Amino acid sequence: MAECPQVINALPPDFSAGRLISHIVQMDAEGSPDVDCLAAHYNKQYVVPAPFSLHAQYYYNHRANHFLRRSAYDSAFHYTRLALKCDSILSDSFYLAIDLGLLANIHLMKGEFDKSINYYEQSLSVLNPGKHPANALSLLSNLGVAYLKTDYYETAMQYFRQALEYGQYADTPYGRRSRHVTLLNIGIIHKKQEDFPQAIQAFHSLLDTARLYEYPYLSYLAHFNIAQVYRQTGSEKNFLSHLDTAWNVAIEHDFNQHYLLTESISHAHEQKNWKKFIDYLEKYRTYYEEDELKCDPEWAIWNSRLLLEYNTEPAQALFLLSEGLNCIDFYTEDALDLYALRSEVFQKLGSYKKALENLTKSKVISDSLARRTNLRILADATTSYRVAEYQQMLDQKEKEKAWLRKRANYTNALALGLGAVLLLISFLFYFYRQKMQYKKEALEARRQQLETLNKSKQEELARQKQRLLTQSVQSSQLKAKVLDACERYRRNSAMLTRKVEMAFNEQPVWENFLLDFNQNYPGFIDRILQEYPDTSKRQLQYVVLIALGFSNQEISDMLFVTPGGVEKAKSRLARQFQINDKRRLSQEIMNLFFRLRQEQ
């Protein structure tokens, strides 16, 4: 990782806020270690001065996504809330839709599906899908995933199909990825509903897409799901072929291998191939930390199978199953499998009463899950029916509105005659001309007033400068004579010279000039002293002369200092006024002077 100042200095000087945040997002996607450095730079430049602006919204949204990808949900929530505060003062509802979708993504990643569904629906309600089809595609697809996770397959399928409708208008890399993920989820629904031909067709279409756009992760997911379908249909050869391909892609690109491991372990156990079973189980063990394995029901089940069926150590298997049950909820599929296997272990140990108790518990869980599934299926069917009914009602109302609008247009066209239209246009044109004439006269009067005022101010400024220059010349001549006399009397001439110069600088002419200046241009000196109360009288002389446009040479003549002394005084003024570049000092002072003149 490069040093942070070097990274910042390497940025192009013409980088705007929008280009910089886009650059940061791209680097974050590429995994660059310089992202935090650039984000801190963006925050200092654009967010700290305006914490609730559009630039700040860009920053908060990026940081929320950054932490979400790293499963840092609390930080992601924090930045999303800040982004939503910015959205409340932005006129475009697009940003509100994006941040509501981001909040839904966080709940989806945490497994809080009901909350995620709620936020996805809110996001879609404020988004203009015709204007932003790629975002509509993403939101609808994620909403379908939330319903898929809760086993509402028909509802999920409806949202996936709606997503694909918008996907055909989103021909960007982001839109293509969202469209392909949606097709993958449609294939998964077909697989879960045991519609295997449709599932195979969907997954094979993704393989072609993955080769075309070089998406290795999409290829990995497609091969893995095809392998699962072939295993369910009993096609052993095709299953092993696609599973091996998925393994090769996952190893080559370092993808997460959890699902491959569980599928391979399950298949090895089904085939009673204990050598592969042990190899995959050992690989599973090294893939996770020891603390994670203690509460992993899959690890407890497969390890117990090995101890029970291969090593014949039922007591140790019972211990693992009990540990697994301590970490999970009762009414879950994992608990069902653990209790069923515990029943088998107790039978092996001859504890038939405990075996019956565990079998009863597994039956209770099975019945509960079956009822829950039936309720979901019923709710899913009801939802689908209501959605279709509601859509039909909306279509009917839209047709009625269209007919009413058409009839109203015909009625209005017949009611309004050409004469009435021409009369209305004539009146409008007359009032418009009158309005424009009044506006033109007002602008002309204002222009003349400003020209007169500006001319008088310019004349007054010229008189002030001329009078000051005349006084300066007279003082210079007097000073030259006195210094010449001092030179002739060389005894202690240096001290005498210094006192003469101090006397010239302390003449009351400057006090009179400042009073006169303040009368003609009130507010300027007060404004300088208000913002910079430590400004000395000497520094105030420099400020006034700079504001009047005098050059360094003219200032040095009037204040009896060298041009180098003028430069040093300007440097001190720049530091006191907190101006980084002293070359900007004169421009800043003159800008303030003319701005106050215009306000008078």
Q: What is the 3-state secondary structure (H, E, C) of 38-72?
A: HHHHHHHHHHCCCCCCHHHHHHHHHHHHHHHHCCC
CB distance 189 to 153 below 8 Å = yes
Round to whole Å and give the CA distance between 466 and 473. Answer: 11
Q: Write down the pLDDT at residue 200.
A: 92
In this predicted structure, the answer to whether residue 506 has a pLDDT above a threshold of 60 is: no
Percent of the chain with pLDDT over 90: 18
CB distance 146 to 116 below 8 Å = yes
Does some domain include residue 519?
A: yes
- Quickly state the pLDDT bin for 76 (edges 50, 70, 90): very high
- Quickly state the pLDDT bin for 327 (edges 50, 70, 90): confident
User: Out of 153-157, 206-210, 311-315, 485-489, which region has the weakest mean confidence (pLDDT)?
Assistant: 485-489
Q: Which of 221, 255, 289 is the last residue of a domain?
A: 255
Does some domain include residue 369?
A: no
In this predicted structure, the answer to whether residue 93 has a pLDDT above a threshold of 80 is: yes
User: Out of 40-54, 135-149, 381-395, which region has the weakest mean confidence (pLDDT)?
Assistant: 381-395
Round to whole Å and give the CA distance between 123 and 95. Answer: 10
Residue reference for tokens 């910015």: 86
CB distance 120 to 146 below 8 Å = yes
Q: The tokens of 31 are what?
A: 């995994």
CA angle 68, 217, 196 (to 5 degrees): 110
Round to whole Å and give the CA distance between 183 and 202. Answer: 7
Helix (H, G, I), strand (E, B) or coil at 495: helix
- Quickly state the pLDDT bin for 498 (edges 50, 70, 90): low
CB distance 199 to 153 below 8 Å = no
DSSP state of 600: -
Ramachandran region of residue 549, left (φ > 0), alpha (ψ -120 to 50) or beta?
left
Does some domain include residue 228?
A: yes
pLDDT digits (tens, 9 = 90+) for 369-384: 788 767 666 665 665 5
CB distance 576 to 543 below 8 Å = no
In this predicted structure, the answer to whether residue 495 has a pLDDT above a threshold of 60 is: no
In this predicted structure, the answer to whether residue 453 has a pLDDT above a threshold of 80 is: no
Region 500-510 average pLDDT: 53
- Quickly state the pLDDT bin for 2 (edges 50, 70, 90): low
Q: Write down the pLDDT at residue 103.
A: 93
Closest C-alpha to 141, from 177, 172, 178 = 178
In this predicted structure, the answer to whether residue 342 has a pLDDT above a threshold of 80 is: yes
Q: What's the domain range around 562? A: 425-599
Q: Write down the pLDDT at residue 190.
A: 93
Q: How many Å separate Cα 276 from the centre of its chain?
A: 46
Q: Write down the pLDDT at residue 369.
A: 78
Q: Which of 224, 255, 286 is the last residue of a domain?
A: 255
Does some domain include residue 472?
A: yes
Does some domain include residue 179?
A: no
In this predicted structure, the answer to whether residue 467 has a pLDDT above a threshold of 80 is: no
Q: Which of 236, 255, 274 is the last residue of a domain?
A: 255
User: Out of 249-258, 346-355, 419-428, which region has the weakest mean confidence (pLDDT)?
Assistant: 419-428
Round to whole Å and give the CA distance between 241 and 262. Answer: 17
Region 491-515 average pLDDT: 55
Does some domain include residue 357?
A: no
pTM above 0.85, yes or no: no
Region 528-540 average pLDDT: 82
Q: The tokens of 248 are what?
A: 């090769």
Percent of the chain with pLDDT over 70: 86
In this predicted structure, the answer to whether residue 241 has a pLDDT above a threshold of 90 is: yes
In this predicted structure, the answer to whether residue 66 has a pLDDT above a threshold of 80 is: yes
Q: How many Å separate Cα 262 from the centre of its chain?
A: 36
Region 562-583 average pLDDT: 81
Does some domain include residue 444?
A: yes
pLDDT digits (tens, 9 = 90+) for 131-182: 889 899 999 999 999 999 888 888 999 999 999 998 888 877 778 888 888 9
Round to whole Å and give the CA distance between 187 and 153. Answer: 11
Q: Write down the pLDDT at residue 392.
A: 74
268 against 586, higher pLDDT: 268
- Domain count of the chain? 2
In this predicted structure, the answer to whether residue 292 has a pLDDT above a threshold of 90 is: no
Q: Write down the pLDDT at residue 465.
A: 66
User: Out of 152-166, 216-230, 550-564, which region has the weakest mean confidence (pLDDT)?
Assistant: 550-564
Question: Can you state the percent helix, strand and coil of the chain, rounding each to 5?
Answer: 80, 0, 20
217 against 226, higher pLDDT: 226
Q: Write down the pLDDT at residue 99.
A: 92
Distances (CA, A) of 41 to 24, 26, 36: 11, 16, 9
In this predicted structure, the answer to whether residue 494 has a pLDDT above a threshold of 60 is: no
- Quickly state the pLDDT bin for 120 (edges 50, 70, 90): very high
Q: Write down the pLDDT at residue 1.
A: 45
Round to whole Å and give the CA distance between 399 and 405. Answer: 10
Q: What is the CA radius of gyration of the chain?
A: 41
Region 219-229 average pLDDT: 92
In this predicted structure, the answer to whether residue 503 has a pLDDT above a threshold of 60 is: no
User: Out of 55-69, 390-404, 416-430, which region has the weakest mean confidence (pLDDT)?
Assistant: 390-404
Distances (CA, A) of 536 to 315, 326, 532, 582: 91, 78, 10, 18
Q: Write down the pLDDT at residue 185.
A: 92
DSSP state of 331: S
Region 35-46 average pLDDT: 89
- Quickly state the pLDDT bin for 496 (edges 50, 70, 90): very low
Region 434-441 average pLDDT: 85
Does some domain include residue 282?
A: no
89 against 517, higher pLDDT: 89
Max avg pLDDT among 21-30, 187-196, 316-325, 526-535: 187-196
